[in-house]
Amino acid sequence: MRDQIINCGGQVLFDQKVVDFIIHNNTITGVKTQMGVVIDADQVILATGHSARDIFYLLHEKNILIEAKPFALGVRAEHPQELIDKAQYKCNTRGEFLPPASYSLVQQVSNTGVFSFCMCPGGIIAPAATAPNEIVVNGWSPSKRNNPYANSGIVVQVQLEDVIKRSISKNIDPLLLHFQQEVEQRAFAAGGGLLKAPAQRMVDFCNNKVSATLPKCSYLPGITSSDLSSVLPPFIHHVLQKAFIEFGKKMKGYYTNEAVLVATESRTSSPVRIPRDAETLQHPQIKNLYPCGEGAGYAGGIVSAAMDGERVAMMIASKMGDTLKGL
């Protein structure tokens, strides 16, 4: 990918963190890096990914319009892959030509959506924190899907009004970033440090019981038996408890103490949307600034982010083509 960019006349810069936007008359003309280097640009695509909190705060400090958007918060649920195979294939042993089974689960609990996210058959739970003293977990599968575990994010929809009305957080900010960050920091404290993650067996979680032991887990930094009600906001915790029981009714064997819940899955999507004009794809306040992808709130995964990037690139190419014609 890097070679392709360079071959097309592009340039790739490393260790050049953007810390400011250069704006004149509500038009962006470039960016400034942490080294004080100014990079001039006629068009700027802002595609930072959904965990670039520093960019969100920078926009907010410069009074450039951004807004809170619904996101999701929960845990990673890990089962033995064999158990998921039995449930999905309805047989005791998966045939050698069948791939490790996956699942997709959705449930409404008290008018709140709960759903599986990024299900990883034969997968691994991985640390994904972006700042010190935080725990964020994610999942992935090697190409052979040959890990003995299956994991998936099980997350609850979060609206701004949910946080304001029901959260115990004292730092409610309009962007939900503090809310998200506080949960991740509580997970770090409950895990005991060294990136160990707090965890609880599934049935124990639903019965408000701290697990005396934990099963083996693919999360390599290790897991610590914890009461996840001390990590998750009460409304998230209660909704998840009911959802796991209902998932067990939909999928035989899913609701089991052989499964372990690892906290916290908090980066399913950005809690912030950077607005843009529906036709020009530019920010409504700042000309030539193009919010793009997951970080801007216009995608929900790798493929949709790539498609949004294509859309923005085509828009800029069309605009530049019109400019050249005018010359």
Identify the DSSP state of 287: B
Separation of alpha carbons 32 and 18, rounded Å? 6
Taking the whole predicted model, whether its pTM rises above 0.85 is answered as yes
Examine the pLDDT at 174 and tell me if it is beyond 80: no
Q: Pick from 159, 158, 153: which is nearest to 105 by CA? A: 153
- How many residues appear in the chain? 327
Reading the block at residue 183, the tokens are: 């949960």
Beta carbons within 8 Å of 167's beta carbon, 6+ residues apart = 179, 233, 235
Phi first, then psi: give them for residue 221, nearest 5 degrees.
-65, -20
Q: Which helix (H) or strand (E) holds 39?
A: strand 38-40
Separation of alpha carbons 245 and 254, rounded Å? 9
Average pLDDT in the chain: 92
Local structure of 323: helix, strand or coil? helix
34 burial type by CB count under 10 A (0-12 exposed, 13-18 middle, 19+ buried): exposed
Separation of alpha carbons 18 and 52, rounded Å? 11
Reading the block at residue 316, the tokens are: 């800029």
Contact (Cβ atoms closer than 8 angstroms) between residue 63 and residue 283: no
Reading the block at residue 37, the tokens are: 């280097």
Examine the pLDDT at 169 and tell me if it is beyond 50: no
Q: What is the pLDDT of residues 287-302, one digit of tens each?
A: 999 999 998 999 888 8
**Alpha-carbon distances of 309 from 93, 143, 178, 316, rounded to whole Å:** 43, 25, 28, 11
> Mutual orientation of helices 53-61 and 177-191 as an angle, nearest 10°?
150
Q: What is the pLDDT of residues 109-168, one digit of tens each?
A: 999 999 999 999 999 999 999 999 999 999 999 999 999 999 999 999 998 777 766 554
Provide the pLDDT for residue 173: 59
Reading the block at residue 181, the tokens are: 């960050």
Mean pLDDT over 239-243 rounds to 98
Contact (Cβ atoms closer than 8 angstroms) between residue 246 and residue 100: no
Separation of alpha carbons 47 and 26, rounded Å? 20
Reading the block at residue 59, the tokens are: 């926009």
Phi first, then psi: give them for residue 262, nearest 5 degrees.
-115, 130
Q: Where are the domains of the chain?
A: 2-67+272-326, 70-265
| Predicted confidence band of residue 84 (pLDDT cuts 50, 70, 90) | very high
- Tell me how crowded residue 92 is: count the other CB atoms within 10 A of its CB: 8
Identify the DSSP state of 230: G
Class of domain 2-67+272-326: alpha beta
Examine the pLDDT at 323 and tell me if it is beyond 70: no
Provide the pLDDT for residue 166: 56
